[in-house]
């Protein structure tokens, strides 16, 4: 059986910016501390929610290294290190390893995409050149490519490909992936609103956007499922569904950063081309936060 990187709720952490869109490291340290205090089980840094697409290479590695240093082995740190250029994905992964991460998150190639055979070649090429465990990231709504269950079965044969963050929204394919891969591939939900469902199929947790604003809630949903209390997990899942949905009322991470600013966390803007939400969306987001006593 392969090692499990973490169980429970790992936060897909935002990258806070100053008003000039430079990285706000002091604020980042406080956010990390708040996450750990709130019960977060792992930190996923420089993923989509961390605006990796607009961080240059030096910033990307600096943010990862800073996160690793602040966390200081208290919980696992997983670094976003994927690319649609395979050689660059290796470079990014190697530099993240040198920064001291516990695992790598590797999104499928985007825009140029690839075939299922290409996915196997791409990921095996990376896995042969790293030493850290790899969590695959399947998010067809962003990348335009979906990892099929049969492809997962091939990829899971590599000793360093240990898990996937699954955000294809297709529970039928997830069931088939579980059947084909068994203990050779850990599955994490990539969508907060499917945490309970995926964990009922054997998933080990969630990589969560919700956790940025409500770490105890995200942890509670996942932990109840890990404890076998699916009635409680379901209850919490439904209770927080409005916030989960409103985290995607606009393009991620626009709403979650807006929510954190509403909560007084001062995480700054998103970098262009991501742009602030319209007033109607802000009102809807604020209402859901207020319902859960996250704002006054």
Task: Provide the annotated active-site residues.
Answer: 137, 165
Instruction: Give backbone dihedrals phi and psi of 109, rounded to 5 degrees, phi first.
Output: -60, 140
Residue 144, sorted as left (phi over 0), alpha (psi -120 to 50) or beta, turns out to be left
The beta strands (E) that lie in 157-196 are given as 161-166, 186-189
Q: Are 212 and 13 in contact (CB under 8 A)?
A: yes
State how far the Cα of 40 lies from the Cα of 216, in Å rounded to an integer. Answer: 7
Of 139, 292, 267, whose CA–CA distance to 215 is shortest? Answer: 292
State how far the Cα of 234 lies from the Cα of 296, in Å rounded to an integer. Answer: 27
User: Which pair of tokens denotes residue 268?
Assistant: 């700054």
> Which spans in 25-84 are helix H?
25-37, 57-71
Of 137, 144, 124, 135, whose CA–CA distance to 3 is shortest? Answer: 135
């Amino acid at each position: 059986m392969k090692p499990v990187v973490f169980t429970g709720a790992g936060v897909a952490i935002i990258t806070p910016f100053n008003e000039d869109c430079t990285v706000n490291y002091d604020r980042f340290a406080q956010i990390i501390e708040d996450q750990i205090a709130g019960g977060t089980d792992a930190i996923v840094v420089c993923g989509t929610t961390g605006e990796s697409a607009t961080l240059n290479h030096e910033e990307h590695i600096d943010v990862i290294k800073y996160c690793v240093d602040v966390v200081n082995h208290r919980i696992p740190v997983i670094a976003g290190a994927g690319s649609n250029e395979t050689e660059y994905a290796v470079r990014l992964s190697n530099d993240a390893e040198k920064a001291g991460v516990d695992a790598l998150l590797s999104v499928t190639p985007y825009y140029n995409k690839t075939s299922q055979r290409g996915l196997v070649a791409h990921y095996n090429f990376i896995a042969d050149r790293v030493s850290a465990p790899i969590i695959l990231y399947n998010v067809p709504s962003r990348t335009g490519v979906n990892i099929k269950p049969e492809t997962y079965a091939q990829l899971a044969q590599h000793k360093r490909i240990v898990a996937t963050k699954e955000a294809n929204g297709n529970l039928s394919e997830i069931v088939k992936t579980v059947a084909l891969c068994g203990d050779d591939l850990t599955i994490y939900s990539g969508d907060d609103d499917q945490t309970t469902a995926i964990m009922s199929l054997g998933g080990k947790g969630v990589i969560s956007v919700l956790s940025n604003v409500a770490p105890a809630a995200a942890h509670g949903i996942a932990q109840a499922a890990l404890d076998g209390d699916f009635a409680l997990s379901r209850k919490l899942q439904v209770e927080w569904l409005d916030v989960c949905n409103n985290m995607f009322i606009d393009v991620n991470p626009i709403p979650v950063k807006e929510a954190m600013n509403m909560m007084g966390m001062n995480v700054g803007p998103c970098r262009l081309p991501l742009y602030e939400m319209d007033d109607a969306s802000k009102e809807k987001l604020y209402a859901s936060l207020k319902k859960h006593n996250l704002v006054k």
